[in-house]
Chains A and B, each alone.
Chain A
Amino acid sequence: MSEIKVSGLHKSFGKVHVLRGLDFEVQKGEGVILLGANGCGKSTLMRSICGLTPTDQGEILIQDQSLQKASRRKVMAMRNKVGVVFQKFNLVGNLSVFQNVLYGALGSSRWGLLGCMGPFASQEKREKVMACLERVSLADKADRKAEELSGGQQQRVAIARMLMQEPEIVLADEPIASLDPKSGQEVMELLWDVVQEQGLTVICTLHQLDIALQYGERFIGMKAGQVDIDARKGAITKAELEGLYRGQVRVDAPENWKGVSELQTSAA
């Protein structure tokens, strides 16, 4: 049984064919780094896996259950198993850090929002929020407004929210792309520690190849809406990964478009 299975996945936005037949499987506990140039369809793939973007063709199985065939209610239950860390953190800016982490429990809360609001949440949940914040070393910031925190801190709050959700799968969509190198490294370190502690399955998109090679156990490289590379750690070099950024990489490029590097060589 695989945790995530993507088969024959297609998605178009208008005339732009973004996902052009993707197939791959991710096993439980695997740490996958998804690589690819801007505009190659990474984010669309990530959004499809957590059910935020509906797909046109093909199937995504999360723990052997089809996301495409599931009812609305079922999709909600499946999303609850998948924690997402976004590039832009996506905290509710004018609410407290505490409240934002508490929102992680929304999917499993029987009373919906009412059970996840600061004043009404159970003592057990409140303590759990503090434990999650403790894990990301931000317990002292619990009553601050989320938007007052620095980027790196906000992303750590987002990780605490993901912990609160108790997911089995984690999707991290360029979690460090909006951060400076130092806080990026810290956040990545924290994210990977947390994921490994709990034995979670993770797919993480990244742009920094060095960081990717440092953390990833397996690399899936996308190029123009298709899987171009799928290799384990040790079986691939940085030079091979760099190839993902050359030639026709984007999904919105016209048919006869030549990559920048090819234009340069032909001009020389």
Chain B
Amino acid sequence: MSKVDLGAFKAPARFTSPSIFTWVVIITFAAFFIQGFASADINGARMLQGVNNLGGFFAQAWPPNTSRLEPIMWAMLETLNMAIVGVFFGVLLSLPFALLCSRNTSPNAVVRWVSRMIVATLRTVPDLVWALIFVVAVGLGPLAGILAIIMDTIGFCARFFSERIEEIRPGPSEALSSTGAGRMSVIFGAIIPESMASITATSLYSIEKAIRSAVVLGLVGAGGIGVELSTSMRMFRFDQAMTIILVILVVVIAVEQVSSAIRKRII
């Protein structure tokens, strides 16, 4: 084989030094990591004590005490209801927000910017903080939890709906506009149907997400099974707490299974 003259072109070097940007990221990350590790104050004695305490917890928690199973089941049902009602209204409100946030459906840039800011704020505030706020506003109980879930769902769904709406093919919408259809007809005739599968899948996922968060919301008094759990833990009735944890486990897994089965059928 004759030698080919490659001229001025050379293969790229095997190794290149990372850019300054990469170095800054690595060093910043390392700084936070080391600081965090140190502040956790990890040492052998503490670890041993922790394992010991955990053993104590399980010893007291097993066998689970089922004497309060009935009220626990009712509380679990309440949690489920909170999640479903919250997600329903959350998804309903997410749709207009998503349309206002998307480049291809928003009336103008100002409206889009404002609604994006609102959605971003709803998303940034954690659901537990929403629950604390609504407990102050409407008092203890499931209503505070439902309102917190609505806020959280809008923050999550509006963003994903809008991303989906922005990435649909423009063709069908153009076809409808070219028949002389108005803006609303195009949105509800082509854009929403085109993104429907993804909207449904996201909504189902947000039910799963809402059930998990509804469990925790009870810890701050926003209704549901979390209230039971926090009471049992504070009264050191670990055997009752174990029953509650098992019930949560079963229900959450069941809901996830059902929802992913439905999603598979849609997509």
The smallest beta-carbon distance between B145 and chain A, in angstroms, is 35
Task: Contact check, A161 vs B185: say whether CB atoms are below 8 A apart.
Answer: no
Task: Contact check, B179 vs A79: say whether CB atoms are below 8 A apart.
Answer: yes
The smallest beta-carbon distance between A115 and chain B, in angstroms, is 10
Task: Contact check, B180 vs A77: say whether CB atoms are below 8 A apart.
Answer: yes
Is chain B's interface secondary structure helix, strand, loop, or mixed overall?
Answer: helix
Chain B interface, number of residues (Cβ within 8 angstroms): 21
Task: Contact check, A112 vs B179: say whether CB atoms are below 8 A apart.
Answer: no
Q: List 15 A-B contacts (CB under 8 A).
A: A50-B178, A79-B180, A81-B180, A82-B178, A84-B175, A90-B172, A92-B190, A94-B194, A103-B189, A106-B185, A107-B179, A107-B180, A113-B181, A113-B185, A161-B175
CA distance A29 to B83 in the complex (A): 61
Judge whether A248 is part of the interface by a CB distance below 8 angstroms.
Answer: no
Contacts of B181 in A (CB 8 A): 76, 103, 106-107, 112-113
Task: Contact check, B193 vs A79: say whether CB atoms are below 8 A apart.
Answer: no
Q: 1/0 per residue B174-187: CB within 8 Å of A?
A: 11111111101100
* Known interface pairs A77-B180, A93-B194, A112-B184; A106-B171 also in contact (CB < 8 Å): no
Contacts of A158 in B (CB 8 A): 175
Judge whether A91 is part of the interface by a CB distance below 8 angstroms.
Answer: yes
Contacts of B194 in A (CB 8 A): 92-94
Most chain B CB atoms below 10 A, which of A51, A77, A103: A103
Cβ 8 A contact of A112, one of B171, B178, B182, B197? B182
Judge whether B188 is part of the interface by a CB distance below 8 angstroms.
Answer: yes
Task: Contact check, A112 vs B185: say whether CB atoms are below 8 A apart.
Answer: yes
Chain A interface, number of residues (Cβ within 8 angstroms): 33
Task: Contact check, A106 vs B184: say whether CB atoms are below 8 A apart.
Answer: no
* Known interface pairs A52-B177, A79-B180, A92-B172; A113-B188 also in contact (CB < 8 Å): yes
**Smallest CB gap from A112: residue in B:** B185
Judge whether A104 is part of the interface by a CB distance below 8 angstroms.
Answer: yes
CA distance A93 to B176 in the complex (A): 13
| Count: A-B pairs, CB below 8 Å | 81
CA distance A158 to B196 in the complex (A): 22
Contacts of A116 in B (CB 8 A): 185, 189
Which 7 A-B residue pairings sit nearest by Cβ, starting from the closest?
A107-B180, A80-B180, A90-B171, A106-B181, A90-B175, A113-B185, A79-B180
CA distance A106 to B189 in the complex (A): 9
Judge whether A245 is part of the interface by a CB distance below 8 angstroms.
Answer: no
Task: Contact check, A106 vs B176: say whether CB atoms are below 8 A apart.
Answer: yes
The smallest beta-carbon distance between B223 and chain A, in angstroms, is 38
Residues of A within 8 A of B (CB): 50-52, 76-84, 86, 88-95, 103-108, 112-113, 116, 158, 161, 165
Contacts of A80 in B (CB 8 A): 179-180
Task: Contact check, B189 vs A79: say whether CB atoms are below 8 A apart.
Answer: no
**Smallest CB gap from A82: residue in B:** B178
Beyond A103-B175, A106-B181, list 8 extra A-B contacts (CB 8 Å). A88-B169, A90-B174, A93-B172, A94-B193, A94-B197, A103-B176, A112-B184, A113-B188
Contacts of A88 in B (CB 8 A): 169, 171
Task: Contact check, B179 vs A104: say whether CB atoms are below 8 A apart.
Answer: yes
Contacts of B178 in A (CB 8 A): 50-52, 79, 82-84
**Smallest CB gap from A52: residue in B:** B174
CA distance A83 to B178 in the complex (A): 7
The smallest beta-carbon distance between A174 and chain B, in angstroms, is 13
Contacts of A92 in B (CB 8 A): 172, 189-190, 193-194
Contacts of A91 in B (CB 8 A): 172, 175
* Known interface pairs A88-B171, A90-B171, A112-B185; A95-B193 also in contact (CB < 8 Å): yes
